[in-house]
Structures are given as structure tokens and as C-alpha cells.
């Protein structure tokens, strides 16, 4: 099955639909503008829809599968995830990177850390949940010394 993403005028994905491979093959084949035109002829655009672009469920082309809210970058011919935080930037692979490298340690005393980005303070924070009743312990990542510090 072939997947097509409906885009709005800002190239944001509104929805993804499935079309038979036979229909795509008989209308120009994968990644063809003819196939996109065919999809537009059989599936009406939603209220804000303006275009269809083929996407790969297995990430074989256009970087990654297009889900709702993903952005199609026409100049790169790729689907790119939305920017998670204002401070994050795209790397050379078009993946979002935080200004502080993601922690290299994901456990403390054999307890799994639940790691989140704190945009206001530009830090990685971690939490562990242990015991009964559950006790939460908070940590902040020290990127210089590559360790978690309790706070």
C-alpha cells in the first residue's frame, strides 16, 4: 500500500491516506507528480488541504513517515518533525538537536531515569520513581562532568 500526506498551504501534514500500489503504478509510479494528481482526483482535499505528497511508511524516502503535524520541506524533499522547543536546531541529518547534548546516562542506582528537556533553564532533567508508596527523586544533568546531580 502507498501512503499520501495531505498538506496545507504551510506544508504541514493534515492527514495521511492509503492508496493501492496498483493505482500508484498505473499513474506514474512512486514519487511522481502524476500519482499525486491522481490522488487529488479521487480524494477531495479537506478544508485546508492544498496538495498531496507520497510518504514512506518504512522511511525509505523523504526522510521519515509523515504524520499529522509533520512539515514537508519542499527544498529538501523531506518530511521533518516539528521543532520540539524554540532553542533546538536542525542538524545536518535534519534531526532536531537540543543546545545541550542528550545525557549519556539513563539510570541511577539501577533505577530508570525519565528524562525531559527544561526549555526555561536549558537543562535536561531526570526523575526516578521508586518504592511503595512511590518516592520521586529529581535530578539535573551536568553536561560538563557527564553526571546526574540530585536537586
Strands (E), 23-134: 51-55, 71-73, 78-80, 89-90, 96-97, 107-108, 111-112, 114-118, 123-130
- What confidence score (pLDDT) does residue 98 get? 97
Q: Is the pLDDT of residue 131 over 90?
A: no
- What confidence score (pLDDT) does residue 67 get? 97
> Average model confidence (pLDDT) for the chain?
96
Cell 549519556 identifies what position? 104
- What confidence score (pLDDT) does residue 32 get? 97
Q: Is the pLDDT of residue 21 over 90?
A: yes
pLDDT digits (tens, 9 = 90+) for 84-110: 999 999 999 999 999 999 999 999 988
Q: Could you tell me how many helices (H) and strands (E) the chain has, helices first?
A: 2, 13
- Comparing CA positions, the residue from 32, 27, 55, 29 lying closest to residue 42 is 27
Please report, rounded to a whole number, the percentage of residues in the chain having pLDDT higher than 90. Answer: 96
Q: Is the pLDDT of residue 144 over 90?
A: yes
Asked whether 126 and 113 are in contact (CB, 8 A), the reply is yes
CB atoms within 10 A of CB 138: 12
Q: Where exactly are the structural domains of the chain?
A: 2-82, 107-150
* Mean pLDDT, residues 57-76 taken together: 97
Asked whether 27 and 68 are in contact (CB, 8 A), the reply is no
- What confidence score (pLDDT) does residue 109 get? 87
Amino acid at each position: 500500500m502507498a501512503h499520501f500526506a495531505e498538506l496545507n498551504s504551510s506544508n504541514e501534514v493534515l492527514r495521511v491516506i492509503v492508496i493501492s500500489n496498483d493505482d500508484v503504478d498505473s499513474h506514474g509510479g512512486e514519487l511522481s507528480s502524476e500519482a499525486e494528481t491522481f490522488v487529488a482526483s479521487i480524494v477531495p482535499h479537506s478544508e485546508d488541504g492544498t496538495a498531496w505528497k507520497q510518504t514512506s511508511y518504512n522511511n525509505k524516502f523523504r526522510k521519515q513517515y509523515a504524520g499529522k503535524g509533520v512539515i514537508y520541506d519542499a527544498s529538501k524533499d523531506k518530511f521533518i518533525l516539528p521543532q520540539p522547543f524554540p532553542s533546538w536546531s536542525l542538524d545536518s541529518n535534519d534531526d532536531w538537536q537540543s543546545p545541550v547534548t542528550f545525557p549519556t546516562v539513563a539510570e541511577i542506582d539501577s533505577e530508570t531515569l525519565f528524562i525531559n528537556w527544561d526549555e526555561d533553564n536549558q537543562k535536561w532533567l531526570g526523575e526516578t520513581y521508586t518504592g511503595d508508596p512511590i518516592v520521586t527523586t529529581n535530578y539535573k544533568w551536568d553536561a560538563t562532568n557527564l553526571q546526574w546531580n540530585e536537586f
